[in-house]
Amino acid sequence: MTGDHPFDADTAVVGSGPRFGATISDRWSVGDAHANGGYVLSVCLRALEQVLDKPDPLAVSAFFQRRVLPGPAEVHVDIARSGRRLATGEARLLQGDQEAVRVVASFADLSRAAGPTLVSGSAPVLPPPQDCLDLFSGEVLGDSGLEAPGIAGRLEYRTPRLPGWRQGSPSGQAKAEFWLRPAGGRPADTLLLPGLVDMAVPAVFELGHYATTTIELTVHVRARPVPGWLACRVSTRYLIEGYHEEDFEIWDSTGRLVAQSRQLALLG
């Protein structure tokens, strides 16, 4: 991990706890320039990492109460428990004295994880990244009228074929499989994975809906990824009165599941 990479520089916090200062960068903006939720979650996890004695976020739950804008912020943390295997804490990100995001997370040391293993699912079967298409090669995203968000420049995104929404004809099937990795050569690690599940294009784009706001996001980090491209799978099965779930899986280049998530979001 290099501190000069935008992810590390833009998630940095200042202080020794329980209150930290942070600067929300516009390099991770979406749409009308508010910060991407996964990026904001990463800032909160960075603060928790400073006070908990375990290196890997294992189970993370975030509640997004209002949009976060570029500029100064504070992160207040509280340690709930620190045990032999798990350490649990809460982080609250505030802007202008208003709480915007609340995160509860348990950290562990995944290098010491051992026990029975059963994996019933499998990684997406994708062509090699070099044989895929760059989803964000261009300034405008299909006929949706959306300009490529600032966060698109922070990611490398390869897909076997252009999705329907990218060509102006959403397929009606809210699911996708693709390669993803941080731009700039930074390998993914367990601190980046919880935010990464919220940084890709939402599955509901294939339903013709191009604005969605995360309400709650739960992430389980399953292993430390090896360096390289990450194979991702995203889907939405239920859109009810504007509310929808999104399920996300991340598999590393060895075919190992490294993170999975579910979020509840609202269109518009």
End-to-end CA distance of the chain: 36
Do residues 129 and 155 lie in contact, with contact meaning Cβ atoms separated by under 8 Å?
A: no
- Angle at Cα 260 formed by Cα 98 and Cα 201, nearest 5°? 70
Contact of 28 with 151, CB cutoff 8 Å: yes
Residue 31: the pLDDT is 66
pLDDT recorded at residue 144: 41
Q: What is the pTM of this model?
A: 0.93
CATH for 6-110+123-267, options being 2.40.160.210, 2.10.25.10, 3.50.50.60, 1.25.40.10: 2.40.160.210
- On whether the CB atoms of residues 35 and 70 are closer than 8 A, the answer is yes
pLDDT at residue 159, as a whole number:
95
For the chain, the average pLDDT equals: 92
Q: Supply the pLDDT for residue 149.
A: 52
- Stretches where the chain sits below pLDDT 50 are 1, 138-148
pLDDT in tens, 204-227: 999 999 999 999 999 999 999 999
CA distances 94 to 3, 12, 148, Å, are: 24, 15, 28
The pLDDT, as a whole number, for residue 168 is 93
Measured CA to CA, the distance from residue 173 to residue 175 in angstroms comes to 6
- Residue-range domain boundaries for the chain: 6-110+123-267
- pLDDT on residue 4: 78
Please give the C-alpha separations between residue 191 and each of 47, 103, 212, 224, 241, in angstroms, as whole numbers: 11, 14, 24, 10, 34
